[in-house]
Amino acid sequence: MVGPDCNTVLMSVRVSVCHSGIQPLCLPGAGDEVLHLQLSMDPSKAGEFRLALRDSSGRGRIVDLSPRTMPQDYLT
């Protein structure tokens, strides 16, 4: 049986966040560091995907959202 918070990671990629004079990515906890963008799904909910931006230490998520709630121009 799968627990309520159990997700299957489909893909995880490393991303670099660098703060400059213009900050395109202003997120709490996102400094000049390497982060992971992770796509996952809940096996008990068909078609439900999650995108998470995680710190490289694995301490937690900085951003966690559903692609269904994101504006379409972010996904293209």
- What does the pLDDT profile of the chain (76 residues) look like in tens digits? 344 456 788 887 887 666 555 555 555 555 556 778 888 888 888 878 888 888 777 666 677 778 777 766 665 5
- pTM for this prediction: 0.54
Place of tokens 């995108």: 51
- Residue/partner pairs of 13-21 with CB below 8 Å, 24 or more apart: 13/37, 13/38, 14/56, 15/53
